[in-house]
Chain A
Amino acid sequence: MASLSKNRIKRIVEIALHVVADFTGDIENYGFNGFNDLQKRIFLNKLNDLILSEPYHDDNDCIDYSLYYDVPLLMSYLNSWSSISDCINFIFENQAVDLRPNKKIQLS
């Protein structure tokens, strides 16, 4: 496991997208055309929150709460994605694992 799978990332992106849009079908076919500044900002804020709260699974599929997935997000990156598929690929390729700064136990 260790890394977030593309399917898991797609689910996270779907949840973030639901905050700003309703949709049916495969989200990978959609793009960011028509998104205004506020919609982009809210989508990115939600995406960041969801990635940070995603529990880290080690190679034995055990959850390690001392670690989290780190994905740098910037409005400039979103503006360079032509489709939701690009967004999913960006997160997949640029994920890394970091130590949580405060070692509070998260109940989920």
Chain B
Amino acid sequence: MLAAAAAGLLLLGISLAFYWVPNAPVEGFRQRIFYIHVPVALTAYACFFWAAWKALRLLWTRDQRYDLESYTAVHMGVIFGVLTLVTGSIWARTSWGVWWTWSERQLVLFLVLFLFYSAYFMLRYSVDPGPRRASMSAVYALFGVVLIPVSFLAIRLAEGLIHPVVFTHDVGDKLSTSQLVTFGVCFAGTLALAGALYVNELTGKRLDERLSELREALS
């Protein structure tokens, strides 16, 4: 159901982005990367928030099933993080003429966030499975979520102002209705895609765990 919704919404969103939304006044045609780059970035943040929420539930209730849910959400967040970095890099190349710039703190902060969550896997697999590993992973996932508001606000607080700010109160920079609708459809599509991947991945990981238990019981 989620996968079908994701496919439908993304197809609709991409069609709207290419055939309905007019060219942006300054950015022109290349502004259309916005409709995939920003939803993917926000979805990555949503996955990390979901991971932190599950981590908090684990620490609160000590119910070990939240460990796998938090881990899966981090896994999805990292996939969407890779997509954010790659699509952002392509946008940077076509808008600024470079693939990456270290002078923009919001780019660097997103990279720090991405590397922080990538290191989660190293931490997780350096500890034997069990409650200790679950608690350590949960605490790490909770620490990471602190970086998200910093990364999000950096786009607004940055002094360089190369990176565009899209959701603003300035009338000149506001999105038009067609841009907002297209963005909304694409964002709903990426969220549904993340949800579908999350459910599939979680089912696979649970199945893996149960098969290991069954193997131990039979041997």
Whether A and B are associated in the same complex: the answer reads: no
